[in-house]
Amino acid sequence: MTERVVLAYSGGLDTSVAIPYLAERTGAEVIAVAVDVGQGGEDLAAVRRRALDCGAVEAEVVDARDEFAADFCLPALRANALYMDRYPLVSALSRPLIVRHLVAAARRHGGTIVAHGCTGKGNDQVRFEVGLGALAPDLRVVAPARDFAWTRDKAITYAEERGLPIDVTHRSPYSVDQNLWGRAVETGSLEDIWNGPVEDVYAYTADPAEPRDPDEVVITFDAGIPVAIDGETVTAHQAVVELNRRAGAQGVGRLDMVEDRLVGIKSREIYEAPGAIALITAHQELENVTVERDLARFKRGVDQRWGELVYDGLWFSPLKRSLDAFIDETQKYVTGEVRLTLHGGRAVVTGRRSEASLYDFAMATYDTGDTFDQSLAKGFVQLWGLPSRMAAARDARLGGSPRF
């Protein structure tokens, strides 16, 4: 029986060329699987036709936008996931979802090999293959760009020689990956980290320097999940789409950073994530109102580790599952409304309210009606500082140097 390769298919040059190339190299039939995670652009029906025209024996297109928003973007939001305190895990979030569908397709079609278009320099090879190893360790993985030293120039020549039905060009200024949660841009002139990004790099956001009226938005959360915008009920998918539109129109969510890749190199990346940044900003503020101090302090460390695990391709790991359980517990009372002003590239919190608020006006006020018993403070301060005073006295007694 002929083996079958299930290919993660984008419809672009590299994965289109991979269809006949994999068939030639492995002798297997190729099943192309394209997953819509909100990347926009081309009609997926056209993507499917192209895969078949390039030689796939079958091609599937999966509309996974709602699934991506609910099962991947929302957990990232509840974890306030920002890798290196900045990057909202745009590409990293979509890979485990694609892996899930690749495995399902392999089971349906009797596939024994899974293929992806990643190179050996990036993070995505890890995300795909570690995920596949967790869900389907019996499947073999082939990565033409990495395993067979398959370059873009070779791909273009190969496509031209075989008359494949795809547009090819020897020059493309940037490498772009985008989905519902944001957009990632790299390579080209951006590889010189002194070069500033030009405006044509951006597609999800307007120039924040252009004058425009601010936009005020109220986001309603229930247990850490956005459920309404300006009083209108929304699904997770609708919430991200709407805030991509409104925050993007104000230039919110542009990031220019040098990040630490998993493979050990540093990479310059341009990101646009208007909806993600607006939602995380609002969610963090609502947590400030509703989550108790020590729990909030501990959760910040959990959030950071959660983001690192997902960035590093460990979505299906035991630690990630355990952190999910902790985060779920912390979100029990993260319910209420946050008002943001979107303007000039920033999402600024201007109001917050919650029935589960731990903010007590009478305790916080300095005016008449203050219920805070200040007579308790003196003893509290003395006891709080007691260990430091005792250590300082010990140091002085033993001739230690004062620490200033």
- Just list the catalytic residues: 14, 95, 124, 175
**Residue 11 assigned as binding residue:** yes
Strands, E, within 28-162: which ranges? 29-36, 58-63, 113-115, 140-142
12 is an annotated ligand-binding site residue: yes
Q: Please name the residue ranges forming H helices in 112-224.
A: 124-135, 144-147, 152-162
244 annotated to a ligand binding site = no
CA 151, distance to chain mean position in Å, is: 27
Q: Which helix (H) or strand (E) holds 221?
A: strand 215-222
Q: Is residue 109 within 8 Å of 31, Cβ to Cβ?
A: yes
Residue 232 makes CB contacts below 8 A (sequence gap 6+) with none
Query: Coil, strand, or helix at residue 356?
Result: coil
Confirm or deny that 117 is annotated as ligand binding. yes
397 is in an annotated binding site: no
If phi > 0 it is left, if psi is from -120 to 50 it is alpha, else beta; for residue 56 that is beta
- Taking CA atoms, 121 is separated from 146, 178, 193, 214, 347, in Å, by 9, 19, 18, 41, 34
Q: Known binder of ligand: residue 87?
A: yes
Task: Order the strands of the 140-142 sheet from edge to edge.
Answer: 58-63, 29-36, 4-8, 113-115, 140-142
Annotated binding residue 8? yes
288 in a known ligand binding site: no
Residues near 162 by beta carbon (within 8 Å), at least 6 away in sequence: 20
Judge whether 292 is annotated as a binding position: no
Please indicate if the annotation marks 15 as binding a ligand: yes
Q: Which residues pair with 34 in a beta bridge?
A: 61
**Is 175 flagged in the annotation as binding?**
yes
204 annotated as a binding-site residue: no
**Is 21 annotated as ligand-binding?**
no
124 carries a ligand binding annotation? yes
Annotated binding site for L-citrulline: 87, 123, 127, 175, 259, 271
Annotated binding site for L-aspartate: 119, 123-124
Annotated binding site for ATP: 8-16, 117
Annotated binding site: 8-16, 87, 117, 119, 123-124, 127, 175, 259, 271
